[in-house]
Structure 1
Amino acid sequence: MEPVSTEHVTAFRRFNRYLTRRIGVLDDHYLGQDRPLGQARLLYEIGDGASLRELRVRLGLDAGYLSRMTRALEAQGLVRTSVHHGDSRLRLAALTPAGRDEVGEQNRRADALAERLLRDLSEDQRGELTAALGTARRLLRLAGIVIERVDGACADARACLDAYAADIDARFPEGFDPTALVRSEEVSGDAGAFLVAYEENRPVGCGALRTLEPGVGEIRHVWVHPEARRLGLARRLLDGLERQAIEHGLGLVRLDTHAVLTEAQAMYRACGYTRIPRYDDNVYAAHWFEKRLTEGAVR
């Protein structure tokens, strides 16, 4: 993995300082309302109701800090908390009518602020900025996703495989039999590896590596949740699996893919995989690829 240059770090921080100043993040009266950004954002995230546990994960807040903010909003009559009827350990937060009114006003003021910032740009410039913001959001989402090696039998691994099987069952004309999935012992320990991608602690992708024969591995079940597609996550998973192959002493990796998965075929070719003759008896495969690995060649 290439080190991050000082130039890139400086540019990122410069933009962050500029944006926070322009939109008033540092003001204790965000958007002219009588509260700082943290409380305003919490009101927005509560929306139609959420558990404090969910809010803590979503916003990345310390439990004590979140509890203090929630109590402050509750004291102002904007939030109502209760205990989940099925789990007494789970506290729920909901907006009161006054809280819903405040969020509505918050949205109106935020829209007005954005309109003021964009007003003096031409339509072409607004389009350019909107496209740049879309790119920034996509790359920041990708940067925030963590890929971890897990045991192939763990709950997150099996949940990802179940979602993968359901996804391709809907896409393959002949359907898909989940008994064709890799077994947990094939992708754990010395036999292989299983990677899960997490976005805000939620599994959003996976990939598996198993050993075919000494020095040769096979990549299986590279999958990304529909909500996390088009970020570049599949390539990151593929890269991680190649690194795992090297760590397992596998200098060659192979994989196969279905005829309808044209986007997967294009990705494999772009990542240096070449077509080879059939090497397995996978009834769902129509194309077979391989790639020789060297540590310096893995991205």
Structure 2
Amino acid sequence: MRHENTDPVSAEHVATLRRFNRYFTRRIGALDDHYLGQDRPLGEARLLFEIESGGGGENGVGGGVSLRELRARLGLDAGYLSRMTKTLEAQGVVRIGVDPDDNRLRRVELTPAGRVEIKEQNRRANALAAGLLDNLSEPQRAELTHAMATAQRLLRLAAITVTLVDGAAEDARACLDAYAADIGARFPEGFDKSDLVRPEQVTGDAGAFFVAYEEGRPMACGALRTLEPGIGEIRHVWVHPEARRLGLARRILAELERSAVEHGFDVVRLDTHAVLTEAQAMYRACGYTEIPAYVDHVYASHWFEKRLAGAR
């Protein structure tokens, strides 16, 4: 289940994004069969980079990566990825073997020749980036890098999907376990997992549970349950540390509110802990009003309510 944004995408926005894509891919040489002047196209060069970094980009630690993880990260067809890795293996720049932790998986890593090539690739890529930035003043460089960071954040958010799942689903319970560990480390008194919602409270007519996925990985969640007739309660809005500051919590909250309307709730309520100041700020910014305690909850210091537009 995925809701469409109520604001239609304008033709101007589409044209602007496509125009930028065309310019940028041409400017960095993505269309060249000899990317960065080396004897391989961009696809193979990028694959080598991901293998070298363990699939984690420039901050990766190396040591290879499973083909399954590469497939998810790069969004490649299994057959196409297999053909590319076999080509690189035949050229002597990677080796393919069995994952030592799971013999059902194949793992690919760089050979010494591959490490030499990726080192040269990184040197040339850095030189290309420096050459582009060299023609700008320092304030212009700062403006460009800030704009690119914003673009990356928003494109990443756009690629994340928020899906309604059964409250007993494996991904739902995994997210709740991660939520419990996260807030347990933040709350001075710790956290008792018995306080988590039960599957039957957030499934079907009783409520809803949403999981956000990035490249197949569950990265955020949120729950809605029935508090009393006409009133729903939002619980456990959580975002993985790697996906914070994207605006993902607000997307989860918006899905929960839409689901609350579909369930016939006129009002939603929630509570939050005193240490979760960022959560309090988000709820206020999203139209929630602080109210007196509506339930005796050991972890609650602030209680909020919001009347829903469009409720039946």
TM, length-normalised to structure 1: 0.97
Task: For 1:210, give the aligned amino acid.
Answer: R
Give the match for residue 181 of structure 2: 166
- 1:205 counterpart (216, 220, 238): 220
Say which of 114, 135, 146 aligns to 1:99: 114
Q: How many residues align?
A: 296
Q: Distance in 2 between matches of 1:175 and 1:75?
A: 54
Q: Take 1:174 and 1:13, find their aligned partners in 2: how far apart are those partners?
A: 51
| Superposition deviation, residue 249 in structure 1 | 1.0
- Cα distance in structure 2, aligned partners of 1:257 and 1:160: 18
Rounded to whole Å, the distance in 2 between the matches of 1:151 and 1:104 is: 46
CA distance in 1, matches of 2:310, 2:122: 50
How far does the alpha carbon of each residue in 1:94-145 deviate from its partner, in whole angstroms, 9 at most, with x for none? 1000001111000000000001111110011001101111111111111111
Moved over 4 A (4+): none
Structure 1 residue 175: Cα displacement: 1.2
Deviation at 1:84, TM superposition (A): 2.8
1:25-174 aligned at under 5 Å gives the runs: 25-47=30-52, 48-85=63-100, 87-174=102-189
Percentage identity across aligned positions? Answer: 75
What's the counterpart of residue 228 of structure 1?
243
Q: What is the alpha-carbon distance in structure 1 between the residues aligned to residue 79 and residue 38 of structure 2?
A: 24
* Distance in 1 separating the partners of 2:286 and 2:167: 25
Partners of 1:139 and 1:24 in 2: how far apart?
24
1:251, distance to aligned residue in structure 2 (A): 1.4
Where does structure 1 lack aligned partners over 5 or more consecutive residues? none
Matching residue within 299, 305, 312 for 1:284: 299
CA deviation vs aligned residue, 1:228-266 (integer Å, no higher than 9, x gap):
000100000000000111111111100001111111111
- 2:60: which partner in 1? none
For 1:143-184, what per-residue CA distance to the aligned partner results, in whole angstroms no more than 9, with x for missing partners?
A: 111100111111111111111111111111111111111111
Task: Give the equivalent residue in structure 1 for 2:201.
Answer: 186
Cα pair distance change 1:280/1:17, threshold 3 Å: same
Give distance in 2, aligned partners of 1:202 and 1:147: 11
Instruction: Specify every segment of 5 or more residues in structure 2 that has no aligned partner in the other structure, as ranges.
Output: 1-5, 53-62
CA distance in 1, matches of 2:252, 2:32: 40
Quote how far apart the aligned CAs of 1:86 are.
5.2
Cα deviations by residue, 1:14-51 (Å, 9 ceiling, x for unpaired): 11100000000000000000000000000010112011
SS in 2 for 1:295: coil
